[in-house]
Amino acid sequence: MMRQYELVERVQRYKPDVNEALLNKAYVYAMQKHGHQKRASGDPYFSHPLEVAAILTDMHMDEATIAVALLHDTIEDTTATRQEIDELFGPDLGKLVEGLTKLKKLDLVSKKAEQAENLRKLLLAISEDVRVLLVKLADRLHNMRTLDHMRDDKRLRIAEETMEIYAPLAGRMGMQGMREELEELAFRYINPEAYRTVTARLADISERNRGVIVEIENSLSGLFEKYALNATVKSRQKKPWSVFRKMEAKALSFEQLSDIFGFRVVVESVEDCYRALGAIHTTWSMVPGRFKDYISTPKQNDYRSIHTTIVGPSRQRIELQIRTREMNKIAEYGVAVHALYKDTGGKVNASHTISKETNAYAWLRRTIEQLSEGDNPEDFLENTKLELFQDQVFCFTPKGMLIALPRGATPIDFAYAVHTDVGDTCVGAKVNGRIMPLMTELKNGDEVEIIRSKAQVPPAAWESVVVTGKARAAIRRATKNAIRKQYSGLGVRILERAFERSGKTFSKDSLKSVLHRLARKDIEDVLSSVGRGELSSTDVMKAVYPDFKEERVTLPPKPREEGWSKIRNAAGMLFQIPGRASRKERQAAKESGAVPIRGVRGDLPVRFAPEGAVPGDRIIGIVQPGSGITIYPIQSPSLTAFDDQPERWIDVRWDIDEATKERFPARISVVAINAPGSLAEIAQVIAENDANIHTLSMVRTAPDFTEMLIDLEVWDLKHLNRLISQLKENSSVSDARRVNG
């Protein structure tokens, strides 16, 4: 534990005329009051206020602030009273200690009104005396540094509160150093796995780039020497949390991040900043679009610097920040700089309010004005948080639990933030009591109720709608599982059919003993590999029945009669069927166990041949390794390409009913008479018949005629035929027919 004289010496180093008596008195008083109290770690309780004081000496705070730090827990946790502290240390200090006592935790899961009240108290206290914020942040920082000793659940709650309230508040007040350390510590507890991964990757990168970094530092220093500029150059690595956040926000991988390293150039004056910039830009080329002058236009939190990116000495991109010593101090300590002792005659600066010229002060003032205008605490919370956490939105569950989300978040993000199960089963959302589309961007204060359905599988398209990494990862996982399930379902059907052909019965259990022979890790894996076309049903048969002999399929002569087609199923069985199947035949096909096709949104991985296929068509499926089944109309000439791969053919049938709200693709060829407006007329006929044009291309143009291919989306064969006959009747059309249908 730091000794009394050590603390005094620390302050003396930056403030030679320190009021030693005040520090000594506070040290002894706090130590006596806390007595034998212990922290969760087993350390004497007094070590905590002492460490908080030490943090503030690092920020070069005055002795009054240090004394308040020493005393900050006395009223709350010991027999000390406001009156006693007033008498011993004066009412100014007493008021600060009492202020800190009143600032209870900003409990995130408490009722909105209470939260608003707590935040209001904190902001009011800061505006009166910024030292309240500094002690509060130092207090939180030390608690975060020693969070290991807390109970698990408490630890997570404190870490989340730090990430959601204290770190952004430190940032808003321009205290970058404080913000970064709070974020780093909170990140470690909120997402330990990600923290470890990112930290390890950063360490690895920094190890590998050590030589390059020194080289760049040297070239920059050499350059400034040449231009007679007094400048210090330092390399800087992005912090784990900001790396992680960027990866999440932009859905980037680690490798895609280009700006892990940056270099900071610190000079004497504003003029030198621009001279250094000139020297850099005349030596190396700058990367366009990356230049920012925050000296002429400071950021909201008073941050000032010039930012530029250049193509550096060894042709890498280098990010640079150029600033003065003073700007550097403000970037690091923010409003704390204004609370530094700036007295002239050894007297402690009386006001300690944030300087009125700063942007941070303007923000605080504005916020507090809002607070006195409206008496509705929830409005206040909404407004303040909007300002404080510019990149976040705060929403609530119907039970009043707060969910913090990045800006741009949707009800889907909200659902996943509540729980992965809630996200996976989300089918709709009520925002403030009204049903809203799931793509709705959430606003501060929205109350969101998620409507769920057990039958739901999150659509893959959601992945591009959500903004949180948690939602994105969960959707990807769910989509993968659903696809895997589709493939294994198809695999079961293919195997059932193949076994049946050989007079055997397929059972999943029979696969158990042959996993090794098939080099698959489990039964699911065998099934989905078969479904995917990566493993043939014959290989599985051979594995289960080692004496299985593949029957040689001899291709019969092609049927001569017009309108007859052949179908071969997965096991190589050949069918000959007429082009028009009777109801009886259709029923027979159904009973034969042909794989039912419900369209691309069904439970099998299905796609359609380029020329399309619609319900009513006689169809055949071709297994495409890696992409499921492609459905062809039986008449399609493209099928001949698969003649010598009978194992890829599977027998399929439509399974469409009233509930199928899906259109199917079909290609038609239309020959139009070249006359003004004929194309528009064709389009109109198609639209009037409730069909959609997917693509349209001209294949042949003659002086009088134009032939075009139109890919359509229609409901079924009847719909398609009606459309074709309507087209034929049109005076602009000389011919219309289906392609390969």
Q: Which residues bind Mn ion (CB under 5 A)?
A: 73, 139
Query: With respect to Mn ion, which residue has the nearer C-beta, 139 or 611?
Result: 139
Contact 699, 707 (CB under 8 A): yes
At its nearest, how many Å lie between Mn ion and the CB of residue 72? Answer: 6
Tokens of 46: 């007094």
- Select 48 or 493, whichever has its Cβ closest to Mn ion: 48
Which one-letter DSSP state was computed for residue 714? E
CB of 73 to Mn ion, least distance (A): 5
Phi, psi of 580 (to 5 degrees): -110, 115
Output the residue with the shortest Cβ distance to Mn ion.
Answer: 139
| Distance in Å, CB of 446 to Mn ion, minimum | 34
Residue number, 54 or 515, with CB nearest to Mn ion: 54
> Tokens in use for 114?
């209470």
Contact criterion met (CB below 8 Å) for 685 and 676: no
- Supply angle C-alpha 176, 178, 183, rounded to 5: 95
**Coil, strand or helix at 180:** helix
Contact (Cβ atoms closer than 8 angstroms) between residue 565 and residue 634:
yes
CA angle 302, 308, 314 (to 5 degrees): 145
Closest approach, Cβ 32 to Mn ion, in A, equals: 17
Alpha helices (runs of H) in 35-62, residue ranges in sequence order: 47-58
Tell me whether residue 76 is one of the annotated catalytic residues: yes
- DSSP for residue 268: S
Quote the least distance from Cβ 416 to Mn ion, whole Å.
35
Nearer to Mn ion, 137 or 541 (CB): 137
Task: Give the residue with the Cβ less far from Mn ion, 55 or 691.
Answer: 55
Catalytic residue among 6, 17, 58, 76: 76
Contact between residue 724 and residue 737 where contact means Cβ atoms under 8 Å apart: yes
429 close to 450: Cβ distance less than 8 angstroms: yes
Burial-class residue 340 by CB neighbours within 10 Å (0-12, 13-18, 19+).
Answer: middle
Examine the residue annotation and report whether 181 is marked as an active-site residue of this protein. Answer: no
Cα–Cα dist 278/694, whole Å:
55
Q: How far is CA 345 from CA 17, 18, 66, 270, 348, in A?
A: 10, 12, 20, 29, 9
**Distance between CA atoms of 714 and 662, rounded to whole angstroms?**
9
The one catalytic residue among 77, 217, 378, 707 = 77
Of 30 and 613, which has the nearer Cβ to Mn ion?
30
The separation between the first and the last C-alpha atoms of the chain, rounded to the nearest angstrom, is 87
Cβ–Cβ < 8 Å for 531, 640: no
CB of 239 to Mn ion, least distance (A): 25
CB of 160 to Mn ion, least distance (A): 19
With respect to Mn ion, which residue has the nearer C-beta, 46 or 642? 46
Of 133 and 571, nearer to Mn ion (C-beta) is 133
CB of 116 to Mn ion, least distance (A): 23
Distance, C-alpha 617 to centroid of its chain: 44
How distant, in Å, are the alpha carbons of 76, 484, 622, 682 from that of 531? 67, 9, 11, 41
Active site residues: 76-77
